């Protein structure tokens, strides 16, 4: 375990000194050698008891390495860490993002009209609904063809430009709800998402498109994010080359931002600027105006269904007892696996192709939130925080990295996500898909012993290679089908699980200072790459050498570079 310390700092042992934490350490020592196959054999009803359900989500956590005594001890730890007070502080607008002195109120984005959430003496819910109504009006105008481009053509392509939560959220939600976008009267609208500063991302997204039929949504709270503005200016130039008049920008660009001055300077009509608030973090913003592309794709009604799913899980998280609380249980199990079983990773495995970007979305949500090495008070932690999240849709992953999960030396807890009904029934394929999900969790839990292998007449020399240790923990998250409501409740489940983990680890889950340093250094390095005079370099020897090599090769004529890489025609064998 890596322990970070600053000059003169002493590790903060607040968490590890708590009685509940010490009790969990002793409990772990007493159960560490138990195997899931024995736990299930001794408790035939375990699979029914270690389960909970809320907001359309069924959570089976019985295949975690826990006993009847584990959850009560974890709940005691949550109580000693003040989790209930932390939850109420968020829902009542307190400044729980202490390093930035901000409230954290993504829960207000999905609060029904009439609820009251007060920040600095002002109810924020009415303002949220004003923005939602403006989004709905604009979305319907685009979807119906009433919103016309500069030349009078209706919009056929929508391109979302953003980065981080302003990109991962929209593309994840669009993919997740694509069924609803493609199965209504507006299926002729196409959607693209540009985030990478690599010019290839923009060029490929716009290849073959017509500017007079394209609408850009520029998502940047400050309208100053380098990557987003770089791509936005590329889009601006692309439009102007074809349309020739800056007045055209007002029909082909809208902004999701709070910086009206810079939005106007860019050429966007501020009447087409959709705002949000500093109490909305980027990775928690898909249900804000950042979700405008999603609303255009699926329509305001279905977008509001998604908000209802979010809100249902919010209410459950706020009010349900911890022993029945899905986000709390998932968060506490993550703490158990990370701090006691020493698992440093979590695999998220959705058995739904529509959720193919959900693991990537969760990577930001979880790792940007809880990848922290100091507590809220600024003291270095002396325990692990923030495991690495990764994954792919099933069954693709079964034919790549599941080998490591089953027989590798890393302990990798898994979240399996499945749906009982397919949106696209095709013979019995969905049954086969879900059979794989259930079989994988069974294999991970129970494995296959040497004796079982030998009993199948496997040659003795091969038997060790075909043994599965088992005892690999997993959750199964099961929903009826992938609806907008289900997606909202699923996202909120993970949001509040992340919150629970952060509260236990006593860290600030809502800042992201770790994103800043590389960006600052890049802003200093870029002029050194672009300058024709080759200014002196004052970096380390590695960085200096890399910059010099880049300057040399990037300035060669393109043909020469390609020839040197591929060889001349005369060198290619006939």
Examine the pLDDT at 12 and tell me if it is beyond 50: no
How does residue 566 score in pLDDT terms, banded at 50, 70 and 90?
very low
More confident residue, 5 or 256: 256
Q: Quick one: fold of 107-303?
A: Rossmann fold (3.40.50)
Instruction: Give yes or no for residue 403 having a pLDDT over 50.
Output: yes
* 516 catalytic per annotation: no
Residue with token string 């009904």: 421
pLDDT band at 562; cut points 50, 70, 90: very low
Closest CA to 213 of 261, 164, 150, 260: 150
Q: Does 107-303 match 15-81+320-511 at the fold level? A: yes
How far is Cα 216 from Cα 229, in angstroms, rounded to an integer?
Answer: 12
Q: What is the pLDDT of residue 236?
A: 98
Closest CA to 215 of 299, 300, 293: 293
Domain extent listing, the chain: 15-81+320-511, 107-303, 515-551
> Percent of the chain having pLDDT more than 70?
94
For residue 494, the model assigns a pLDDT of 98
pLDDT of 366 strictly over 60: yes
Q: How confident is the model at residue 294 (pLDDT cuts 50, 70, 90)?
A: very high
399 annotated active-site: yes
Query: Model confidence at 323, in pLDDT bands (50, 70, 90)?
Result: very high
pLDDT band at 518 (very low <50, low <70, confident <90, very high): confident
Whether 9 has a pLDDT exceeding 70, the answer reads: no
**Beta strands across the sheet bearing 51-54:** 51-54, 57-60, 474-479, 414-419, 345-350, 388-390
Query: Rounded to the nearest 5 degrees, what angle is found at the Cα of 342, between the Cα atoms of 365 and 321?
Result: 60
What band does 565 get if pLDDT is binned at 50, 70 and 90? very low
What superfamily in CATH does domain 15-81+320-511 come from? Answer: Glucose-6-phosphate isomerase like protein; domain 1 (3.40.50.10490)
Separation CA 45–CA 543 (nearest Å) = 60
Which is catalytic among the residues 22, 182, 301, 519? 519
Average pLDDT over residues 95-115: 93
- Catalytic pick among 261, 399, 451, 456: 399
Q: Is the pLDDT of residue 10 over 90?
A: no
Q: How confident is the model at residue 278 (pLDDT cuts 50, 70, 90)?
A: confident
Residues 126-164: tens digit of each pLDDT: 999 999 999 999 999 999 999 999 999 999 999 999 999
Residue 262: alpha-carbon gap to chain centroid? 29
Band (pLDDT 50/70/90 cuts) for residue 567 is very low
Write down the pLDDT at residue 512: 87
Q: Indicate if the pLDDT at residue 35 is higher than 80.
A: yes
CA 200 to the chain's CA centroid? 23
Q: What is the DSSP letter of 46?
A: H
Q: What is the Cα–Cα distance from 106 to 189, expressed in whole angstroms? A: 29
Measured CA to CA in angstroms, residue 238 lies from 88, 218, 246 at distances of 48, 14, 12
Q: Which of 212, 227, 305, 368 is catalytic?
A: 368
Q: Per-residue confidence at 522, pLDDT binned at 50, 70, 90?
A: confident
1 confidence band (pLDDT: 50, 70, 90): very low
Token look-up 């692309």 returns: 238
Min mean pLDDT across 181-190, 460-469, 517-526 is at 181-190
Strand partners, 216: 159, 253
Round to whole Å and give the CA distance between 276 and 188. 29
Averaged pLDDT for residues 395-409? 96
Q: Cα(325)–Cα(52) distance, rounded to whole angstroms?
A: 7
Residue 521 has pLDDT above 50, yes or no: yes
Mean pLDDT value of segment 289-300: 97
Residues 6+ apart with CB under 8 A from 435: none
Per-residue model confidence (pLDDT) at position 5: 37
pLDDT at 155: 97
Q: In this model, does residue 425 exceed pLDDT 70?
A: yes
What pTM was computed for the model?
0.93
Give which of 94, 1, 80, 123 is closest to 510, Cα–Cα: 94
Average pLDDT, the chain: 92
pLDDT at 561 over 70: no
């Amino acid at each position: 375990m890596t322990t970070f310390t600053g000059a003169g700092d002493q590790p903060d042992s607040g968490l590890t000194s708590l009685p509940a934490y010490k009790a969990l350490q002793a409990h772990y020592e007493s159960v560490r050698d138990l195997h899931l196959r024995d736990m299930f054999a001794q408790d035939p009803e375990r699979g029914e008891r270690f389960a909970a359900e809320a907001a359309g989500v069924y959570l089976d956590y019985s295949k975690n390495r826990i006993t009847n005594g584990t959850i009560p001890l974890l709940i005691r730890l949550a109580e000693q860490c003040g989790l209930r007070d932390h939850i109420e502080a968020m829902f009542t607008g307190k400044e729980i993002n202490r390093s930035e002195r901000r409230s954290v109120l993504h829960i207000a984005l999905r609060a029904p009209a009439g609820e009251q959430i007060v920040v600095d003496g002002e109810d924020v819910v009415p303002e949220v609904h004003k923005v939602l109504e403006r989004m709905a009006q604009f979305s319907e105008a685009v979807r119906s063809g009433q919103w016309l481009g500069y030349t009078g053509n209706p919009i056929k392509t929508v391109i979302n430009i953003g980065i981080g939560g302003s990109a991962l959220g929209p593309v994840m939600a669009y993919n997740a709800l694509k069924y609803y976008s493609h199965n209504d009267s507006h299926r002729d609208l196409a959607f693209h998402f540009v985030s990478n500063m690599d010019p290839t991302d923009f060029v490929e997204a716009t290849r073959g498109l017509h500017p007079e039929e394209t609408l850009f949504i520029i998502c940047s709270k400050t309208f100053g994010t380098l990557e987003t503005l770089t791509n936005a200016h590329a889009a601006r130039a692309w439009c102007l080359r074809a349309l020739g008049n800056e007045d055209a920008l007002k029909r082909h660009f809208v902004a999701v931002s709070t910086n009206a001055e810079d939005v106007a300077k860019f050429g966007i009509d501020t009447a087409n600027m959709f705002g949000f608030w500093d109490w909305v973090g980027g990775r928690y913003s898909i249900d804000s105006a950042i979700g405008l592309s999603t609303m255009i794709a699926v329509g305001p009604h279905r977008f509001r269904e998604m908000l209802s799913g979010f809100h249902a899980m919010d209410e459950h998280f706020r009010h349900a007892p911890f022993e029945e609380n899905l986000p709390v249980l998932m968060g506490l199990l993550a703490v158990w696996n990370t701090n006691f079983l020493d698992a440093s990773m979590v695999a998220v495995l959705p058995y739904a192709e529509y959720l193919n970007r959900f693991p990537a979305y969760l990577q930001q949500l979880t790792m940007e939130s809880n990848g922290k090495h100091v507590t809220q008070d600024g003291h270095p932690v002396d325990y692990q925080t923030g495991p690495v999240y990764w994954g792919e849709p099933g069954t693709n992953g079964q034919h790549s990295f599941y080998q490591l999960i089953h027989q590798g030396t890393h302990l990798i807890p898994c979240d399996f996500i499945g749906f009982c009904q397919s949106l696209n029934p095709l013979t019995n394929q969905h049954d086969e898909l879900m059979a794989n999900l259930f079989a994988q969790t069974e294999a991970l839990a129970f494995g296959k012993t040497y004796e079982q292998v030998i009993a199948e007449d496997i040659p003795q020399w091969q038997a060790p290679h075909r043994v599965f240790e088992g005892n690999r923990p997993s959750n199964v998250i099961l929903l009826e089908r992938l609806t907008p409501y289900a997606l909202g409740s699923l996202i909120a489940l993970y949001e509040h699980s992340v919150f629970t983990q952060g509260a236990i680890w006593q860290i600030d889950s809502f800042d992201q200072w770790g994103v800043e340093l590389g960006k600052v250094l890049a802003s200093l390095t870029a002029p050194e790459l672009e300058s024709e005079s080759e200014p002196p370099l004052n970096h380390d020897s590695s960085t200096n050498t890399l910059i010099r090599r880049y300057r040399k090769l990037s300035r060669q004529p393109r043909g020469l570079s390609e020839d040197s890489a591929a060889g001349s025609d005369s060198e290619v064998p006939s």
